């Protein structure tokens, strides 16, 4: 091989290697560019996604705010409405006089039977200081079993707590009577307070059974001229004291009731389970002896006692 040929070959080889290198570096650049483009694309896509998410969150938040604003507005409106209504109610109340609560029914229609035998002995069991459902219900069950009636001198402020038991007593023909609204010793309060205690008890009964009371038992049996003047129904005391509150003992209560006679008014309290147990035994015993168990209004009616408001009565004798 000649020197010329050799140098040509070398040139050729060199040219070839240069072209290859150029080609290689072009491919590398292309690859790099593709990678860059890909990254850029991904970056853009991420930005777009983020923009969409952020805009969604913002729109959701602003719609909540507008809901709150609407709610606030409607609350404000309804508060304004209430205020207007209250104002109207006040004006209406000022125009119309305080409604005088007339009883819807006469209590005596329910608790004064007119078909009893006036010749047979009668006794009026009376229960003070209730109602108290756990005990009053048991007493009512005994009375119902023997078709017996009794009188419940309720403390007015206890009545709304036991409306069902009060309705039940009324439905059974028992007499609902007043023992004042707050068990007030009426001799130690002012005239205004006596009147309030009576009226408040009556309006409470009015709401539950639709009628007023026709008898009041003064707490502690305490009566003076001021009480007599200001209570417009008969003041009903008792002549047989079971002392159930003192003994809280069923045999002792029954023992104290052994002397019961015609026309008696017996004092008990529908607060103690021992009283309810005594009543369960006493009622059939009295019926066996020939007694009719009556309300105080029935006792006065059949014993021909013309009762007057503010007068005190201890028995039907």
> Residue 243 or 262: which CB sits closer to Zn ion?
243
> Residue 181 or 301: which CB sits closer to Zn ion?
181
Q: How far is CA 190 from CA 84, 155, 216, 224, in A?
A: 39, 19, 17, 12
> Length of the chain, please?
317
Catalytic hit among 179, 244, 264, 269: 269
Residues 6+ apart with CB under 8 A from 257: 240, 242, 266, 278, 282
Catalytic hit among 128, 202, 244, 270: 128
Return the C-alpha torsion angle 115, 116, 117, 123, nearest 10: -170
269 part of the active site:
yes
SS3 116: coil
Smallest distance, Zn ion to C-beta of residue 269, A:
7
Positions in the binding site for Zn ion (CB under 5 A): 128-129, 219
Place of tokens 């408001």: 309
Please compute Rg for the chain using Cα positions. 47
> Residue 173 or 218: which CB sits closer to Zn ion?
218
CA distance 265 to 136: 18
Closest residue to Zn ion, Cβ-based?
A: 128
Phi first, then psi: what are they for 269, rounded to 5°? -135, 125
61 part of the active site:
no
SS3 49: helix
> Residue 128 or 298: which CB sits closer to Zn ion?
128
Residues annotated as catalytic are 128, 269
């Amino acid at each position: 091989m000649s020197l010329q040929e050799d140098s040509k070959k070398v040139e050729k080889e060199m040219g070839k290697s240069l072209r290859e290198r150029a080609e290689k570096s072009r491919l590398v650049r292309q690859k790099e560019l593709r990678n860059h483009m890909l990254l850029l694309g991904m970056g853009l896509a991420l930005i777009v996604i983020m923009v969409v998410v952020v805009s969604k969150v913002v729109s959701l938040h602003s719609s909540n705010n507008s809901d709150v604003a609407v709610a606030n507005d409607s609350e404000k409106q309804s508060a304004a409405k209430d205020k207007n209504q209250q104002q109207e109610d006040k004006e209406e109340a000022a125009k119309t006089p305080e409604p005088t609560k007339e009883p819807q029914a006469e209590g005596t229609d329910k608790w004064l039977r007119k078909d009893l035998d006036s010749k047979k002995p009668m006794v009026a069991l009376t229960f003070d200081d209730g109602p108290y459902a756990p005990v009053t219900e048991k007493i009512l069950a005994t009375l119902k079993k023997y078709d017996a009636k009794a009188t419940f001198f309720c403390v007015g402020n206890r009545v709304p707590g036991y409306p069902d038991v009060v309705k039940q007593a009324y439905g059974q023909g028992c007499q609902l009577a007043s023992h004042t609204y707050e068990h007030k010793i009426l001799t130690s309060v002012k005239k205004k307070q006596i009147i309030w205690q009576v009226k408040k008890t009556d309006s409470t009964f009015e709401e539950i059974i639709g009628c007023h009371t026709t008898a009041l038992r003064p707490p502690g049996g305490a009566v003076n001229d001021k009480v007599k003047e200001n209570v417009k129904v008969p003041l009903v005391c008792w002549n047989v004291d079971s002392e159930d509150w003192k003994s809280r003992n069923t045999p002792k209560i029954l023992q104290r009731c052994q002397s019961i006679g015609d026309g008696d008014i017996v004092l008990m309290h529908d607060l103690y389970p021992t009283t309810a147990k005594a009543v369960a035994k006493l009622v059939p015993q009295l019926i066996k002896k020939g007694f009719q168990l009556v309300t105080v209004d029935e006792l006065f009616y059949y014993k021909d006692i013309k009762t007057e408001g503010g007068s005190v009565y201890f028995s039907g004798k």
